[in-house]
Amino acid sequence: MPILNRLVDLYESRGFEIAAGFNPYHFDNFGAAPYTWMFHSGRSYTNALGIAVKEIYFLECLFETYHPRRIFIIGNAFGWSTFALALANPGARVVAIDTGAEEHSQEGITLTNRIASEEGLNVTAVKATSPHDVGPVIAEHLGGSVDFAFIDGCHTNEYVVLDFNAVRPHGAPDCVYLFHDVHQCMLHEGFETVRLESGFAGGLLLGTTSGMGILYGESSVSALERTVRTFSRGEMALAEVRQGAWNARHHYIAKYRKSLAKRRNMVRGWFGKSPLPLP
């Protein structure tokens, strides 16, 4: 069931304005445009942007057949992704941590807990730091092993490894690990390190806005493979899109190359040869 309208209502009913899903092409190819922006009383609360609308759709698809009972989140900010995961999994216990050190993040922890209490959602946000506090917070607040972990904390390769290694000892055998911003923030090295060391299945989800990464054990494959395949992309498609992007950036060169290729094919036709693909 779609969750986006209810997710927006959680904030708009408390005086926030939510703006999400902007096409970057309409804003000078601004990479942050598709993510979720929050405003209240003339102030912006978007120093930590929320996950994009397309990523919420990804979660809706992922949890259509896969139903974790205990969800742990590193990086709460203003609770947008925390509540997205909670609404997509109404039977789950959700615990999120945040350092509270960035602008508005302490307010975000307070707001998340207030909304959860007022709406009757099984969500708790805790001021805590990864990796040091992960184990104690899980033991105190989650009530069992982690079934699904969303890692969206400090965006460095080092912290991708640290966060994963902090959660993994507390993960169930079939735990699924979802990493935000892997491609967007160039976290490939850290993601590949944990993928290889863990031996888990999964990979980059370039069909998501930030280029998320997902890892999971073999026991979870059947529940996840359809959605993972939908939001992954093969090399042929990636090569075509990259070439299209190059052509758009260098349209004069691309136009010249295409014109030259057409003339080449015309000459080939004179000699009875089949045309070659255009660039």
pLDDT tens digits, residue range 140-191?
A: 999 999 999 999 999 999 999 999 999 999 999 999 999 999 999 999 999 9
| Arch. (CATH architecture) of 51-230 | 3-Layer(aba) Sandwich (3.40)
Q: From CA 47, how far away is CA 248, in angstroms rounded? A: 31
Using the structure block, give the residue that is written with the tokens 């280029």. 211
pLDDT for residue 221: 86
Token output for 5: 């309208």
Domains of the chain: which residue ranges? Answer: 51-230, 235-270
CB 70 within 8 A of CB 99: no
Q: Which residues contact 150 (CB under 8 A, 6 or more apart)?
A: 71, 72, 73, 74, 75, 81, 85, 178, 180
Query: pTM of the prediction?
Result: 0.87
pLDDT for residue 147: 98
Q: Provide the b/e sequence for 48-66 (b: ≥16 CB within 10 Å).
A: bbbbbbbbbbbbbbbbeeb
Task: Pick out the chain residues at pLDDT < 70.
Answer: 234, 237-263, 266-267, 269, 276, 278-279
pLDDT for residue 105: 85
Q: From CA 16, how far away is CA 167, in angstroms rounded? A: 32
pLDDT for residue 268: 72
pLDDT for residue 276: 66
Q: From CA 258, how far away is CA 137, in angstroms rounded? A: 59
